[in-house]
């Protein structure tokens, strides 16, 4: 399946003569007609919608060759300054291109754009879903809230008790010696009260942190679980719409943001509000005059703190975003190191990364300066208030309107109010961040897929024949509803027969295979298996038991070969796995691995060659003994030697099954019972290889074209 996604990833593309307007000259001309090839790539990129394409290096450099063709490397630039590396491997009927998009500005702008649109389109917070999430943790929540309340009330008491202690101390410095009173006796009661307060404060601080953590972690765990579950239930169209990075971000950063914001709102928010009210009442009772003056300054503190705070928050968001952009560039480069190396783009990648890191440094420096100004300014301001209170309080003490201990209480209480106000300012930002992160998470949890993962009719195994029929099928991908990919498509695949789909690239062949797997539903018409509409059948049964799918790029998981083959049919015994591997021509090479079937294949299957990977995938598909087998370009990425071995395995695999095979190399499908030729989403020719050749239509043209390309390719190989 070929498709270009303009996103910051490197992905292989398969571009056939149909896509490249000068396709035949591309292949026939070989290396001697580089300009034609470059023009072809340029026209292709334009076709894809890349505006202002021009070639940076007007020369193609051969980077390698094999029996099947030559690799050429091009560097292309988009008008925006986007650098593309295009690597073309010419093969008899097609050109396989690797397109690397490594555009710093483009990546940045795209991320910026997506972030802006994300900010604009944040869904409303779902309070009902939040309540459902909170309900199981209500006991932890209430215990945390009660404990935090106790801590706040104690915090309100502390300044008053401190004042009482200071009053005793102050009294003794002035009069104790003269009156012969016992200091220990007088200080004992207020000191004990203070110590009790500190102990209660410590116990309940421990308690609220423990309950809050328990509640937060359990809610986050629940959220991740629900979200992941919801991801796995979504239909494939959902994955066409959303990038993997975005989904992973919701699962990690958004859940984390939501959790910490929620915890913070409870602990800090509640404490701050209680302390502001409690200490406000205290200072009023200590000295109404001083409290009045301080109260006048409060709006000033709030206004300046909010203004500066929002400025800093916006700067901090920009800095965080820039760090993400720089990380994205590094991630893209490191995870595609082979492509970077193949194009000798190390210096360019370093330049891109440095550029993004430099921007990030500048923003962080600006943020640091802002924080410095904010902290210095607020310290100065707060210390000014302390000085003011001391000055006015000193005056009140001198006129015997106040005691020293009361001044002390007033100072501590007013400081607590100031700190709490500052906390509330921060809290507002935290609340906004938390609710928007939560809204994004709930949005995906609440999504209902159009195609359910399971549920529906099952045809009993003994009566399942495997007759397939596409009847007047029309289809457009949900992400491109205006582009009709299949148009009144009709095809019958009788049980136990092999039907090959051929035709120009983009004609809709892979789409037919995907519809058979019910990755998407048809827009009009119907697909039936043994007369049953696919939409009435259980999708899990269909994919898990009936249809085996082998495509060009099999995916191996980072586990043992045994588990990789068993994937999709976990109940299979070791013997069954080994038998499937034998049929798939895989047993011998697996046995030659150091740990045999227990060898762990690395994350991307690097330790396993393409042909070996494909045979493991065949064994995996075989294990579930599917009635229907779909082979979508199963051997087109392989060299001649591997292809022969895989073909041999496939010919054993297809026996007794209904098979839909899609292949560009016509030599691989000549034995099919029926060959169906597709063009622009329609079936245009159908018959056996001999019939179609005699007919002299599109199929005959394709064969002629392929033969010419094969001979041109042999010439190129000789030339190289
Ligand atoms: N997931 C998708 N979302 C939107 N459009 C898609 C998607 N997959 C394929 N297309 C588009 O559908 C059309 C048919 O693609 P399809 O892959 O079925 O063709 P194909 O004949 O199999 O091509 P190839 O031989 O290159 O694999 C193309 O225009 C392609 O761009």
| pLDDT for position 218 | 95
- Is residue 23 a contact partner of residue 526, using CB atoms and an 8 Å limit? no
pLDDT one-digit tens code per residue, 626-652:
999 999 887 776 677 677 777 777 887
Strands 10-16 and 61-66, how do they pair? unpaired
Residue with CA nearest ligand 1 atom 31: 3
| pLDDT for position 178 | 58
| pLDDT for position 442 | 93
What the block records as the tokens of 292 is 């009045």
| pLDDT for position 81 | 32
| pLDDT for position 62 | 36
What the block records as the tokens of 336 is 């595609």
Considering only CA atoms, which of 271, 141, 142 is closest in space to residue 218?
A: 141
Residue 350 has pLDDT above 90, yes or no: yes
Considering only CA atoms, which of 659, 580, 582 is closest in space to residue 621?
A: 580
Strands 682-687 and 524-529, how do they pair? unpaired
| Count of CA atoms in the C-beta half-sphere (13 A) of 79 | 7
Cα–ligand 1 centroid distance for 522 (angstroms): 15
Residue 656 has pLDDT above 60, yes or no: yes
pLDDT band at residue 77, thresholds of 50, 70 and 90? very low
Considering only CA atoms, which of 564, 566, 514, 576 is closest in space to residue 542?
A: 514
pLDDT band at residue 176, thresholds of 50, 70 and 90? low
- Is residue 470 a contact partner of residue 255, using CB atoms and an 8 Å limit? no
- Is residue 71 a contact partner of residue 63, using CB atoms and an 8 Å limit? yes
Residue 458 has pLDDT above 90, yes or no: yes
Residue with CA nearest ligand 1 atom 24: 505
Of residues 320 and 598, the one with the higher pLDDT is 598
Using alpha carbons, list the distances in angstroms from residue 620 to 552, 601, 648: 14, 15, 16
- Is residue 107 a contact partner of residue 86, using CB atoms and an 8 Å limit? no
- Is residue 11 a contact partner of residue 86, using CB atoms and an 8 Å limit? no
- Is residue 499 a contact partner of residue 661, using CB atoms and an 8 Å limit? yes
Of residues 533 and 391, the one with the higher pLDDT is 533
Residue 4 has pLDDT above 70, yes or no: no
What the block records as the tokens of 362 is 């500048």
What the block records as the tokens of 127 is 């309070």
Considering only CA atoms, which of 488, 549, 531 is closest in space to residue 678?
A: 488
Residue with CA nearest ligand 1 atom 17: 1
Cα–ligand 1 centroid distance for 272 (angstroms): 57
| pLDDT for position 60 | 35
Give the separation between CA 53 and CA 68, rounded to whole angstroms. Answer: 29
What are residue 606's phi and psi, to 5 degrees? -65, -35
Residue 100 has pLDDT above 60, yes or no: no
Residue with CA nearest ligand 1 atom 29: 506
Give the DSSP letter string of 396-452. Answer: HHHTTSS-HHHHHHHHHHHHHHHHHHHHHHHHHHHHHHHHHHHHHHHHHHT---SS-
**Mean pLDDT across the chain, nearest whole number?**
77
Compute how many other C-beta atoms are within 10 angstroms of the C-beta atom of residue 655. Answer: 11
Considering only CA atoms, which of 620, 229, 155, 694 is closest in space to residue 445?
A: 229
Residue with CA nearest ligand 1 atom 5: 477
Considering only CA atoms, which of 460, 465, 451 is closest in space to residue 534?
A: 451
Residue with CA nearest ligand 1 atom 28: 506
The ligand 1 atom at the shortest distance from the C-alpha of residue 501 is 21
The ligand 1 atom at the shortest distance from the C-alpha of residue 664 is 25
Considering only CA atoms, which of 567, 668, 561, 569 is closest in space to residue 612?
A: 561
pLDDT one-digit tens code per residue, 196-254:
999 999 999 999 899 999 999 999 999 999 999 999 999 999 998 887 877 888 899 88
Using alpha carbons, list the distances in angstroms from residue 74 to 17, 59, 103, 379, 511: 18, 7, 16, 59, 30
Residue with CA nearest ligand 1 atom 4: 477
The ligand 1 atom at the shortest distance from the C-alpha of residue 507 is 21
Residue with CA nearest ligand 1 atom 13: 506
Cα–ligand 1 centroid distance for 507 (angstroms): 7
Give the separation between CA 317 and CA 69, rounded to whole angstroms. Answer: 50
Considering only CA atoms, which of 247, 239, 236 is closest in space to residue 539?
A: 236
Mutate which of 242, 506, 553, 683 for ligand 1? The one with the most ligand atoms within 8 Å of its CB, which is 506
| pLDDT for position 121 | 56
Cα–ligand 1 centroid distance for 206 (angstroms): 59
Burial 518-539 (b: 16+ CB within 10 A, else e): bbbbbeebebbbbebebeebbb
611-615 long-range CB contacts below 8 Å, 24 or more apart?
A: 611/638, 611/639, 611/641, 611/642, 611/643, 611/645, 611/646, 612/586, 613/554, 613/556, 614/550, 614/554, 614/638, 614/642, 614/646, 615/581, 615/584, 615/585, 615/586, 615/589, 615/645, 615/646, 615/649
Cα–ligand 1 centroid distance for 520 (angstroms): 13
Give the separation between CA 586 and CA 567, rounded to whole angstroms. Answer: 16
Give the separation between CA 275 and CA 298, rounded to whole angstroms. Answer: 15
| pLDDT for position 604 | 52
Residue 41 has pLDDT above 70, yes or no: no
Give the separation between CA 255 and CA 441, rounded to whole angstroms. Answer: 7
The ligand 1 atom at the shortest distance from the C-alpha of residue 16 is 26
| pLDDT for position 714 | 59
Residue with CA nearest ligand 1 atom 16: 508
pLDDT one-digit tens code per residue, 500-519:
999 888 889 999 999 999 99
Cα–ligand 1 centroid distance for 485 (angstroms): 8
pLDDT band at residue 173, thresholds of 50, 70 and 90? low
Give the separation between CA 660 and CA 574, rounded to whole angstroms. Answer: 29
Give the separation between CA 283 and CA 385, rounded to whole angstroms. Answer: 14
Q: What percent of the chain has pLDDT over 70?
A: 79
Residue 117 has pLDDT above 50, yes or no: no
Cα–ligand 1 centroid distance for 100 (angstroms): 20
The ligand 1 atom at the shortest distance from the C-alpha of residue 3 is 31
The ligand 1 atom at the shortest distance from the C-alpha of residue 18 is 26
Query: Which of the residue ranges 19-28, 47-56, 387-396 would you say has the lowest mean pLDDT?
Result: 19-28
Angle at 119 between CA 109 and CA 483, to 5 degrees: 65
Residue with CA nearest ligand 1 atom 18: 508
Helix, strand, coil shares of the chain, percent, nearest 5, are 65, 15, 25
Ligand 1 shell residues, CB under 6 Å: 1-3, 14, 16, 240, 477, 479-480, 485, 505-511
Query: Which of the residue ranges 233-247, 422-436, 478-492, 549-563 would you say has the lowest mean pLDDT?
Result: 422-436
The ligand 1 atom at the shortest distance from the C-alpha of residue 15 is 26
Mutate which of 3, 481, 669 for ligand 1? The one with the most ligand atoms within 8 Å of its CB, which is 3
Residue with CA nearest ligand 1 atom 26: 505
Residue 536 has pLDDT above 70, yes or no: yes
């Amino acid at each position: 399946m070929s498709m270009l996604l303009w996103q910051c990833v490197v992905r292989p593309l398969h571009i056939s003569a149909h896509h490249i307007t000068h396709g035949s000259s591309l292949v026939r001309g070989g290396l001697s007609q580089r300009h034609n090839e470059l023009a072809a790539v340029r026209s292709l990129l334009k076709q894809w919608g890349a505006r202002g394409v021009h070639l940076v290096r007007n020369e193609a450099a051969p980077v390698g060759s094999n029996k099947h063709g030559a690799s050429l490397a091009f560097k292309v630039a988009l008008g925006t300054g986007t650098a593309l590396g295009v690597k073309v491997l010419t093969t008899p009927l097609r050109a396989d291109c690797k397109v690397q998009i490594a555009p710093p500005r483009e990546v940045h702008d795209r991320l910026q754009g997506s972030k802006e649109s994300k900010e604009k389109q944040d869904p409303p917070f779902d309070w009902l879903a939040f309540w459902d999430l909170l309900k199981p943790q209500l006991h932890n929540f209430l215990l945390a809230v009660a404990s935090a309340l106790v801590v706040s009330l104690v915090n309100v008491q502390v300044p008053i008790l401190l004042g009482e202690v200071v009053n005793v101390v102050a009294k003794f410095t002035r009069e104790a010696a003269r009156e012969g009173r016992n200091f220990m006796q007088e200080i004992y009661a207020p000191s004990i009260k203070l110590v009790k307060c500190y102990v209660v404060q410590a116990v309940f601080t421990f308690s609220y942190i423990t309950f809050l953590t328990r509640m937060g972690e359990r809610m986050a765990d629940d959220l991740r679980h629900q979200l992941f579950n919801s991801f796995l239930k979504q239909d494939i169209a959902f994955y066409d719409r959303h990038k993997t990075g975005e989904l992973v971000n919701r699962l990690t950063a958004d859940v984390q943001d939501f959790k910490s914001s929620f915890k913070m709102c409870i602990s800090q928010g509640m404490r701050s509000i209680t302390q502001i009210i409690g200490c406000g009442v205290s200072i009023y009772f200590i000295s109404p005059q001083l409290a009045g003056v301080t109260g006048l300054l409060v709006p000033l503190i709030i206004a300046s703190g909010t203004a500066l705070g929002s400025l800093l928050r916006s700067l901090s968001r920009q800095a965080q975003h820039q760090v993400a952009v720089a990380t994205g560039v590094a991630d893209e480069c490191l995870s595609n190191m082979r492509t970077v190396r193949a194009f000798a783009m190390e210096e360019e990648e370093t330049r891109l990364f440095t550029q993004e890191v430099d921007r990030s440094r500048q923003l962080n420096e600006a943020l640091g300066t802002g924080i410095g100004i904010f902290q210095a300014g607020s310290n100065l301001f707060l210390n000014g208030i302390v000085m003011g209170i001391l000055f006015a309080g000193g005056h009140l003490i001198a006129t015997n309107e106040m005691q020293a201990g009361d001044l002390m209480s007033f100072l501590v209480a007013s400081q607590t109010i100031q700190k709490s106000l500052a906390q509330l300012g921060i809290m507002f930002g935290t609340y906004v961040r938390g609710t928007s992160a939560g809204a994004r998470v709930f949005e995906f949890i609440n999504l209902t897929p159009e195609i359910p993962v399971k549920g529906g009719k099952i045809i009993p195994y003994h009566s399942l024949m495997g007759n397939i029929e596409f009847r007047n099928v029309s289809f457009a991908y949900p992400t491109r509803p205006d582009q009709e990919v299949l148009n009144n498509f009709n095809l019958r695949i009788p049980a136990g027969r092999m039907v090959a789909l051929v035709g120009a690239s983009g004609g809709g062949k892979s789409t037919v295979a995907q519809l058979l797997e019910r990755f998407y539903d048809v827009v009009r018409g119907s697909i039936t298996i043994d007369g049953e509409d696919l939409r009435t059948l259980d999708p899990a049964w269909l994919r898990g038991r009936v249809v085996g799918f082998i495509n060009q790029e099999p995916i191996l998981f980072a586990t043992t070969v045994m588990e990789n083959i068993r994937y999709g049919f976990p109940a299979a015994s070791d013997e069954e796995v080994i038998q499937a591997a034998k049929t798939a021509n895989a047993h011998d090479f697996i046995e030659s691995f150091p740990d045999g079937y227990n060898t762990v294949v690395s994350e991307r299957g690097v330790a396993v060659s393409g042909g070996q990977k494909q045979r493991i995938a065949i064994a995996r598909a075989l294990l579930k003994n599917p009635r229907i087998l779909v082979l979508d370009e199963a051997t087109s990425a392989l060299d001649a030697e591997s292809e022969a071995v895989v073909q041999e395995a496939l010919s054993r695999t297809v026996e007794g099954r209904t098979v839909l095979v899609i292949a560009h190399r016509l030599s691989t499908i000549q034995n099919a019972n029926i060959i169906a030729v597709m063009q622009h989403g329609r079936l245009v020719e159908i018959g056996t290889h001999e019939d179609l050749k005699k007919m002299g239509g599109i199929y005959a043209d394709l064969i002629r074209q392929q033969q010419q390309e094969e001979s041109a390719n042999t010439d190129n190989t000789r030339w190289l």
